[in-house]
Structure 1
Amino acid sequence: MPMLTDPSLKYLPYPAIPFPADYVRRWPTQRTTVAPTWLSTDLRDGNQALVNPMSNETKLELFRALVKIGFKEIEVAYPSASEQEFKFVRSIIENGEVPDDVSLQVITPARPDLIARSIASLAGCKRAIIHLYNAVSPVFREVVFRNTQEQTIDLTLNAVRLVKKLTEEETARSGTHFTLNYCLETFSQTEPEFTVELGNKVLAEWGKASPDDKVMFNLAATVECAPSNHYADMVEYFSTHINQRDSVVISIHPHNDRGTAVAAAELGLLAGGDRIEGCLLGNGERTGNVDLITLALNMYSQGVSPRLDFSNLSETVALVCKCNEMAIPVRYPYAGQLVFSAFAGTHQDAIKKGLDAQAKRWEEVERIGKGTKYWSMPYIPLDPKDLGYGYENLIRVSSQSGKAGTAYVIKQTMLLDLPRRMQVSFYKVVQDESERLGKEMTAALINSAFKKTYCIESKPVGRLFLHSYRLFPLSPSTREPSSPMSDYSDDISQLTPGDEDQTIMRFEGEISVDGTKRTIRGDGRGPVLAALDALRSSLDLTLTTGESSSQTINTDNLPHAKVATFIEMSLEGTSPSKSGVGSIWGVGLSSDVATSKCRAVISAANGLIGDKKFPAAKMIFSPRPALSQRDSWLGEVRLRAGRLTSENDKYESLKVKTAI
């Protein structure tokens, strides 16, 4: 049957709460500032919803985890439902599994035989809670039980009397302290006036509620059938009309039929709730109970301690999923694998900028010793590290991502802070590779693409590879080289051709050209222009420089700081666009500034040469090595004549190996 065009012919809207006309609701102006009392019902409400209920061994494993997380009230079983359930309660009590500050709760319907069995299961426990329930809404009274309101009240009070009698007897025997938790099952579908009437009669029948020994009222949204604000109204109505309010704990128990259990729980607390009942990850009948992890971390992200420890959330999630034989969506709040991940370029850009800005703020707090390191990040409301995660999953790169995401991965994994124009250039490489592979670009794939694109290897890659080089300062008058300056270093800002402050020097480098070693030479102001001149004069490759920057890399696992040089270059006669189309970036890494510059030049050259054919090696003049004293007369002749050699000859006596 198709959906109705007019559903009002079939479904009734939720009824109004009978507040006076001039009543001003309190809950919209309230704010949660302290954590509620938490009741985990994973081992009972959650367990009874499983296709394959947990074994007692599995329940024990989960019980221990709940205690470790910090739950002080745990509903452990429905002991009258089966012998296995009864034995579980007895085993954790008799084996000393229950800390003195943890209360065990068991559930029982309002039936005398089942009540007695439930109370017996708790004998010897230091703190025990009897969860007594019966459904009280019109649809259950009239259809399921065929009871009037008066008959429902009588059934309830008879059960309360029996619980009171049996618990007092058990307390006298074993010393167990019992608390009554009366659940108005289907509370959210019950007339508000009747819930208050029934609650006040239960209080009177129990007769011993006090601020030090309170009675709990479980206001169960057994079926979530109205908006969260309606549930909050019902809770506030009950809270403001129940007698002995200072002797009452209002316990909130939402279900998730409308997908708003978390909102209902949060509003229920504002409306007067003191306690939350739910399960980790929201396991439970139909769409489940309220998720305690989401609730707790919502509070935590607002600066309110939930008094529950989810410092290793992934471990907790894995355990709950194993015990319940379930899985959660990758986008599930806080616990999903992708909840702290951004694939969209605009999101990635905001996160990268946010991390950079926050790092500066926090450094300033440390520097001046004042202020607070507040978390303030676009798209990420809570620091993943607080939950045991790292930042490596914050930005994931696909063909739909942007330059910021790729740059973030490079910075996190290779410690390189790419210039903005270079980010644009390299992202195009990553995007093309992602489309070619048809999948996400992992950090490993991005790093590999970066090294391949910019020829960053300690062995020959690309058509050109710099093995070694020497720098000689040249005499301004004679242009002749003096002693070599292999440790030459200067400021990276001095890259422009017209800078008169730089020393004119000669670059002499041994490089591989298509696998064959040869020597190239060139002169210029500083190592960059000298290396460019060598490429022009020896390989007929004329390049022009664009933007450039450098970065010092200091890490604990490196003995010396490294310098990264980034240089944008293009072929002579071309005009790169404002976005960088038409230019190529080069990257050089070394512990020596000059070496990093020279490597950056060769790196960029590799990206620009394409399939260019290089001229053959030139024949250059090279003096012979000095002769012995007895051959000095012959040396005069030979030195004047010299000899013609190929650039391929090696100058072992002059060569300076570059640092790797």
Structure 2
Amino acid sequence: MKTMNYHKYTAYPAVGIANRSWPDQTITKAPIWSSVDLRDGNQALPVPMNVDEKVAMFQLLVSVGFKEIEVGFPSASATEFAFVRRLIENGLIPDDVTIQVLTQAREHLIRKTFEAIKGARHAIVHLYNSTSRQQREQVFRMNKEEIKEIAVTGTALVRRLKEESGSAGIRFEYSPESFTGTELEYALEVCHAVMDAWGASAQDKIILNLPSTVEMSRPNIYADRIEWFCRNIKERDAVLISVHAHNDRGTAVATAEFAVMAGADRVEGALFGNGERCGNMDIVVMALNLFSQGVDPELDFSDLPRIREVYRKCTRMDIHARQPYAGELVYTAFSGSHQDAISKGMKAHKMSSDGIWDVPYLPIDPGDVGCSYEAIVRINSQSGKGGVAYVLEKDYGIQIPKWMQPDFAEAVQAVADRTGEELSPEEIHSLFHKEYVTLKEPFALKKCHISWDDEEPDRNDEEATIIACVVQMKEQEFRLDAVGNGPVDAFVKGFVAESGIEFSVEDYIEHAIGRSAGALAVAYVRIGCPDGRVSYGAGIDSNISLASIKAIVSALNRLP
């Protein structure tokens, strides 16, 4: 095996923080959410959204409940600028929603940004410049003081343009871009300088966004950085600490959750993790993680199918089938043991009085996010008897008894093994009929008449049921007449006497399919022979007595 050259990489430095408190914290309230779908998510698309698509996405985000939405980088392109102007001029921004616009700390871009938001009732101007060691040394070739001056100069201009606009609804956000690649002490120094330039106070809070622009460490180290920053920032009540996590290491959601535990007030992210490279923190996942713990996410994801549809249409991006909460297969079980556990858990939940969701393998009720139960259990060669039984009961009302489930599961698995394909509920239902209900060889029930002759109906030990049947066996027919203490007993006695085949009914159960007066009945039997052979059968008829006779004939036809 070839060894990968891991020596070219070094470990991300730990934070020297004593008595960290964040691991003991619990998230009991949703953070302030800010969607970056229309900016970071849009600029990462192979085909960026046009203005109409951006409007549709904006309206989706509003309907979900976002109160802060970063709508774009209006100084970067005519499309971005035109979109912001349409939102404002067409009155598409609700009074309780604040749009956010991004700009680099460059004068002409800042001025263009203010042109774009003119007339907006509420807007956040989001200023950024990169502060990381890599960017300072390799890209800008500037020292720390020069980089800090860019941030301070840009902040002062934003403040002056806000005052000139006369709009009290303009707020300010600053991001030391590549915070994860910036020395903590230096990031704090820059943010303090920005706070001073803005004149931040408890009455005019500044948003300090500390992005994991590139995810470079484990989530716990990022949390340490956030806790350190919250401890050391001056005038903590004058700032809102915001985080913006990317997913380069695949742990952006954990990074954001840990950051909130460490003191962050606000979280930026995108639907389904859309964004550059490996994407942004997935707001759907984080919000529903809170939901699953009994915390109000303050966002409405109760109709995920609609949200998926609009997202796909606007972004031309797909959603992975295994995407947490939103993927097409996340409420699906193929494993037999999982299927059985889900089936039993769903039944237990229906009987529960406290209403608390407590179903194995399903962290939330799929119905809470607009997903149906129809695809929870799907059948392939890995499926078990519980899953097969669940499908038949849920979709067709056929409640195969436990003692019969292994027999039918074996038939299902044989088909799945042969085809290598998943079996639909329709195919499973059809197989049930083929295996048990429609069998005509070697025996077929041609006629059957059942009558009762009991002068004392209250007595249960009398052989008062009279049965007269015609049974076809291959090319021949034979008639049987018998008396028993019920249709099953009478038929067995008559059939054994006429055919010479010795057997007895070892298990029997019946139920109605549906609740109407004209509902069909289904009967299930297990028969045993003196030589040890066992067989299972099922019969369906509007007459329960005939259904039971058909079930016995079915079992006889399946004798090995």
In 2, distance between residues paired with 1:228 and 1:344?
32
Q: Counterpart of 2:549 in 1: which secondary structure?
A: helix
- 8 Å contact 1:128–1:176 — kept in the other structure? no
Q: Distance in 2 between matches of 1:99 and 1:540?
A: 84
Q: 1:471 is paired with a residue of what secondary structure?
A: strand
For 1:318, the equivalent position in structure 2 comes to 309
Q: What SS does structure 1 have at the residue aligned with 2:417?
A: helix
Q: Which runs of 5+ in 1 are unaligned?
A: 366-371, 476-481, 491-498, 576-581, 611-660
Distance 1:515 1:160, change over 3 A: farther
Asked whether the equivalents of residues 532 and 542 of structure 1 are also in contact (C-alpha less than 8 Å), the reply is no
Q: Which residue of 2 aligns with 1:615?
A: none
Aligned to 2:8: 10
Q: Is the 8 A contact 2:85 2:116 kept in 1?
A: yes
Q: Give the direction of change, closer, same or farther, for the CA distance of 1:515–1:126 in structure 2 (3 Å limit).
A: farther
Query: Residues 549 and 562 from structure 1, CA distance in 2 versus in 1: closer, same or farther, beyond 3 angstroms?
Result: same
In the other structure, the counterpart of 1:382 is 364
Shift, 1:604, TM fit: 1.9
Determine if contact 2:437/2:551 at 8 Å carries over to the other structure.
Answer: no
On the 8 A contact 1:183/1:220 being kept in 2, the answer is: yes
Q: Check whether the contact 1:255–1:287 (CA below 8 A) recurs between aligned residues.
A: yes
Contact 1:521 1:538 in 2 (8 A): no
- Between the aligned partners of 2:441 and 2:66, the Cα distance in structure 1 is 61
State yes or no: 1:606 paired with 2:560: no
1:159 to 147, 151, 154: 154
State the distance in 1 between where 2:558 and 2:271 align: 54
The residue type equivalent to 1:14 in the other structure is Y
Which residue of the partner structure matches residue 573 of structure 1?
A: 530
The one-letter amino acid of 2:41's match is: G
Q: In 2 relative to 1, CA 560–245 (structure 1 residues): closer, same or farther, beyond 3 Å?
A: farther
For 1:47 and 1:462, how far apart are their aligned partners in 2?
65
**1:333-344 map, 5 Å:** 333-344=324-335
One of 451, 476, 483 as aligned partner of 1:472: 451
Question: Do the aligned partners of 2:71 and 2:84 also contact (CA within 8 Å) in 1?
Answer: yes
Q: Give, as a single letter, the amino acid of the residue that structure 1 aligns with 2:113.
A: S
Unaligned regions of 5+ residues in structure 2, if any? Answer: none
Q: Does 1:205 align with 2:181?
A: no
Are the structure 2 counterparts of residues 515 and 234 from structure 1 closer, same or farther at C-alpha, using a change threshold of 3 Å? Answer: farther
State the distance in 1 between where 2:3 and 2:55 align.
Answer: 46
Counterpart of 1:304? 295
Q: Is 2:468 the partner of 1:524?
A: no
Asked if structure 1 preserves the Cα contact closer than 8 Å seen for 2:36 and 2:69, the reply is yes
Does the CA-based 8 Å contact 1:223-1:257 persist in structure 2?
Answer: yes
TM-score under structure 1 normalisation?
A: 0.81
The reply on whether 1:144 has 2:142 as its aligned counterpart is no
Please, which of 187, 207, 211 is the counterpart of residue 195 of structure 1? 187
- In the alignment, the residues of structure 1 paired with residue 446 and residue 51 of structure 2 have an alpha-carbon distance, to the nearest angstrom, of 68
Q: What does 1:257-656 align with in structure 2 at a 5 Å threshold?
A: 257-361=248-352, 365=353, 372-455=354-437, 461=440, 463-466=442-445, 469-474=448-453, 501-510=461-470, 514=474, 519-555=479-515, 558-560=516-518, 562-570=520-528, 572-575=529-532, 582-590=533-541, 592-608=543-559
Amino acid at match of 2:89: E
**Residues 327-367 of structure 1: CA distance to partner in whole angstroms, max 9, x if unpaired?**
23211111111111111122122222222222222xxx2xx
Q: Root-mean-square deviation (CA), in Å? A: 2.3
SS in 1 for 2:558: helix
1:32 aligned residue: 27
Alpha-carbon distance, 1:518 to partner: 6.5
Indicate conservation of the 8 Å contact 2:502/2:530, yes or no: no
Does residue 178 (structure 1) correspond to residue 170 (structure 2)? The answer is yes
* Alpha-carbon distance between aligned partners in 2 of 1:97 and 1:3, rounded to the nearest angstrom: 56
Equivalent residue pairs, number: 559
Alpha-carbon distance between aligned partners in 2 of 1:452 and 1:515, rounded to the nearest angstrom: 22
**Which is greater in Rg?**
1
Q: More deviation in 27-36 or 591-600?
A: 591-600
Instruction: Return the letter of the residue paired with 2:185.
Output: E
1:421 partner SS: coil
Q: TM-score normalised to the size of structure 2?
A: 0.94
Q: Provide the rounded CA distance (Å) in 2 between the counterparts of 1:512 and 1:36.
A: 74
Indicate the larger mover: 44-53 or 323-332: 323-332
Q: How many Å apart are 1:380 and its aligned residue?
A: 1.0
SS at 1:53's partner residue?
coil
CA distance in structure 2 between the aligned counterparts of 1:512 and 1:358, rounded to whole angstroms: 48
Return the offset for 1:312: 1.6
Aligned to 1:642: none
Give the match's secondary structure for 2:194.
Answer: helix
Residues 203-260 of structure 1 show CA distances to partners (whole Å, capped at 9, x for unaligned) of 11111432x4321011000010110001001111111111221221111100011111
How far apart are residue 514 of structure 1 and its match? 4.8
2:60 is the alignment partner of 1:65:
yes
Cα shift at 1:86: 0.5
Between the aligned residues of both structures, percent identity stands at 40
Q: Judge conservation of contact 1:522–1:537 (CA < 8 Å) in 2.
A: no
Deviation sequence 1:110-163 (CA, Å, 0-9, x none)? 000000101110111111000100000111112111121111121111110000
Residue 409 of structure 2 aligns to which amino acid in structure 1?
A: Y
Q: Deviations over 1:28-81 (max 9, x none)?
A: 010001111111111110111111111111111111111111111111111111
Q: Distance in 2 between matches of 1:37 and 1:465?
A: 71
Give the superposition deviation at 1:186: 0.5
Q: Is the 8 A contact 1:39 1:277 kept in 2?
A: yes
Contact 2:247 2:279 in 1 (8 A): yes
In structure 2, distance between residues paired with 1:214 and 1:406: 58
Which of the pair has the greater relative contact order for Cα pairs under 8 Å at 6+ separation? 2
> What SS does structure 1 have at the residue aligned with 2:34?
strand
Q: Which stretch has the larger CA shift, 503-512 or 378-387?
A: 503-512
Question: Helix, strand or coil for the counterpart of 2:83?
Answer: helix
Check conservation: 1:213, 1:247, Cα contact below 8 A: yes
